[in-house]
Chain A
Amino acid sequence: MSLMDYTDQWLSVVQPQISQGSSWLADLRQGAVEQFATQGLPHARLENWKYTDVKALAKREFVLPKNAATQADALVAETSLALDGIRLVFVNGLFSAAHSQLDALPKGANVLPLADNANVAKTLLGQVAAANFSGFTALNLAAWQDGVVIDLAANTVVEMPIYLQFVSTEHTDACLIQPRILIKAGVYAQATVVEHFAGAEEAANFTNVVTEVDLADGAQITHYKLQQESVHQYHIASLHVQQQRDSRFTSHNICLGGKLARQDIQVELNAEGAEVNLNGLYLGNGRQHLDNHTLVNHNAPHTNSNEDYKGILNDRSRGVFNGRVVVHKNAQKIEAHQSNGNLLLSDKAEIDTKPELEIYADDVKCSHGSTTGQLDENALFALRSRGLDEAMARGLLTLAFANEVIDRIEIPAVHDRIELAVAGRLPEKFNLKGLV
């Protein structure tokens, strides 16, 4: 059977969701249904999906989630980051008002759950993320259940992070969870958004999330994507960003969970002075498959992009990194830097890394590189010379490698939690527990 054969099955699962919403929304959803029916789920012959086979996922049966918020108190509390202020909690993708906190918003900031406020998002939905980006994007547009709309008026500065907590519960029938997150930052607006995906250790649902971000002139958004779902979960995500003049977008993408996890990031630098920073870490254990694909389009002169992704792969896990930077014709005086480093902790772990730089302008400053390497022998010696055994010294240096990414996280509560989570997921022989 080819992947196309599963298309009808998927459409029948999401059927009840498709008719949800007012007429403009129903039309939009219907268009996406048709797109999905034509496109299907991405097959491995597509260059972008060469290393990530979704056939096992395509075959799985999922149901739409039902409201389980009242049974999830403990799980919400346990997985929560210690962030004060604005918080929207979703249990299996459905908004839970009881767990959420929306009072701390400054004037000019609109932060709302999407399902009940879809009309607010009429001009945003599907504007940055093309429905045909992949079959998953089309499926999300056709049948998203809930999500968030963040609309910041010009000059609005939200000091506290806007925390979006997604909790996945253990369920007899695995759920198809499809959140949609829309962020629109007006001229000189500033905010930090934390998308945090976690859940029960045995949760085996499928999260298919799409985030759209639109930055007007001078806007600044810092975006955290912290993916800590269970190792039985499927997680497919795409983040689409478009940037106007002098805007700045910073992404911290931490990928720790999932049986199969795929994150796409697509950034359009559309006007002079726009800058994007992509910071990423993936850590695989067992048989996890973690795929990160980023695409930065320099569509205008004087735009900057910086990307640093690091991967640590243990056991039989597999990592994929594809970082594509395209400098379009006339996009002169741009600067683009990209690096990807990987550590393989076992002989059976694997990484497929491909930095791609396509340049159609002649006055640019670009660099890219990829390393799959060993630990620094001098540093190893220095640690052992202080009495640390070799395993712990290697452990500390492995954590240090991850810390090059983690240390860019500016929110202390997030930084410490992620460092601890990473230390906890490194091989036990490193003996880092109690130290970090």
Chain B
Amino acid sequence: MLEVKDLRVSVEGKEILKGLNLTINAGEVHAIMGPNGAGKSTLSAIIAGREGYEITGGSITYLGQDLLEMDIEERAREGLLLGFQYPVEIPGVKNVYLLKAALNAKRKHLGLPEIEAPEFMKLVREKLAFMKMDNSFLHRSVNEGFSGGEKKRNEILQMLILEPKLALLDEIDSGLDIDALKIVSHGVNSLRDAGRSIVMVTHYQRLLDYIVPDHIHVLSDGKIIKSGDKSLALALEERGYDWVIEEAAQ
């Protein structure tokens, strides 16, 4: 699904990612953890296609294509979707317009006709109910005036409707109370599928109690320094990151 090879990225002349390797296969759920400043956000930004980063080496292959050569919208249409850490407020753009435009962009890319209005509304209402969101939300502006939890639920709602092949969730758990975390996790878990991969970038082990990953990676100083199964999360929770960093240094 996704293969990151020896990725090196600088921001304003400072190297942030220093030869990062990561392989994600179809159907897998991965968690990338690590201390502040390790490069987690930079990795998400590069995969999403944000500007302002200098890629000095390495490659990212997504479904056999060179991801770094793809436009932002092309990545989305090919099934790569990023759940933002800080979803942007877009005053004046109704959620229903965004959802419809995004779904139709994907359908067009797949050679399908635009979705009929009644079919679209049925789909959206069903997913709204699943995320415990009110129908009135459709006519509100994207994320405007939403609480932190509502914004994150909105990210997952978009995923439920767009059904990505690879979902990259950047700190999807930050700022969530336990009820919101349960709803968000329920949404993400419902997306788990043999053909779909999920990557969670997170600071906290708590999320992994609700969305249990197949693989856990520790990112530190621009590299993956340790990978393991879900038991690694428990070890990190008990002992912190220092021992992993020390172990890697030896």
Contact = CB atoms under 8 A, between A and B. Distances in A.
Partners in one complex: yes
Contacts, number: 84
B91 A386 contact: no
B169 interface: no
B100 A396 contact: no
A402 B92 contact: yes
Interface in A350-401: 376, 378-379, 381-390, 392, 396-397, 399-401
A436 interface: yes
Contacts of A27: none
Contact of A435 (B77, B100, B158): B100
Interface size range on B against A: 20 to 34
Interface size range on A against B: 20 to 34
Interface stretch (B28-36, B60-68, B101-109, B126-134): B101-109
A404 to B, nearest CB: 5
Contacts of B102: 386-388
A399 B71 CA distance: 24
A382 B76 contact: no
B46 to A, nearest CB: 13
B121 interface: no
A387 B162 contact: yes
B106 A387 contact: yes
Contacts of B106: 387
B101 A385 contact: no
Given A388-B73, A435-B97, A436-B97, A383 B90 contact: yes
Interface string B138-170: 000110000000000000001000100000000
Interface of A, helix, strand, loop or mixed by DSSP = helix
Nearest to B108: A387
Contacts of B105: 386-389, 392
Interface of A: 376, 378-379, 381-390, 392, 396-397, 399-404, 407, 434-436
24 contacts: A376-B88, A379-B90, A381-B72, A382-B84, A382-B88, A383-B98, A383-B101, A384-B76, A385-B72, A385-B81, A387-B76, A388-B73, A388-B101, A388-B105, A389-B73, A390-B73, A392-B105, A396-B98, A399-B93, A400-B91, A402-B92, A403-B93, A407-B92, A435-B97
Given A387-B102, A387-B162, 14 more contacts: A376-B88, A378-B88, A381-B50, A382-B87, A382-B90, A384-B72, A388-B101, A392-B105, A396-B93, A400-B90, A401-B92, A403-B91, A434-B114, A435-B101
